[in-house]
Amino acid sequence: MTPDKEKPDSPRIILMAGFEPFGGASVNPAWEAVKSMNGVELAAGYQVVTLMLPCVFDEARRVLIDATRALQPHIVIAVGQAGGRTDISIERVAINIDDARIEDNAGQQPVDTAIDPDGPAAYFSTLPIKAMMLALRDKGIPASVSNTAGTFVCNHVFYSMMHSLRDRPDARAGFIHIPYLPQQAAQYPGAPSMSAEQVTDALRLAAQTAATTEIDMPIPAGALH
């Protein structure tokens, strides 16, 4: 796809990526929610393009970076499942480490391995994370700012995405974690869940807020522990 500067009338792209199932599961709510948004027009001039990511460390990074280079999106939002989370968790920071508690879908399990040995220790999301949180809460959707994206493939993709876009100030990017679907939580008594419909509504609103908010809101959303 040709960048906007060469085609002034072309829509600005919001690239939304979700993961394939992993860990022996048959479904991943991240992809189930993301895939239905392909082609959706959100804010004026913005259109969603969706992408499924493999739950494999280096391959997921390659697939996402290849897509960002081809599409030249203005906004990139990657979405992953975080079983046990109670709400839509908008991630603040990605750290430069792989430390996998389980194997990825290719049987890899890196431990204490730098994602990029020459990269910085961390990158912060460039999305308006607090405005997104408030927009979701205003619609009755549980949401918070999270300060840990883990150390599995989600964080690997988040860090790699921010690293690859570090020289593109016109592009903003970040990561969102979502809870189990109800049918998944049923296998783990007491585990929180959120319906696919509500997750999709949340991601749509989060992306729309990202597209229409230039400056984030300076409100407290930190954590005590």
Known catalytic residues are 91, 154, 177
Task: Please tell me the distance from the alpha carbon of residue 119 to that of residue 100, in angstroms, as a whole number.
Answer: 19
Q: Which of 78, 74, 49 is nearest to 165 (CA)?
A: 74
Please give, one letter per residue, the 3-state secondary structure of 170-205.
CCEEEEEEECECHHHHCCCCCCCECCHHHHHHHHHH
Q: How far is CA 121 from CA 94, 97, 152, 168, 208, in A?
A: 9, 8, 16, 19, 30
Alpha-carbon span 145 to 157, nearest angstrom: 18
Cβ atoms < 10 Å from Cβ of 38: 12
Which residues 6+ apart lie within 8 Å of 36 measured at CB?
A: 200
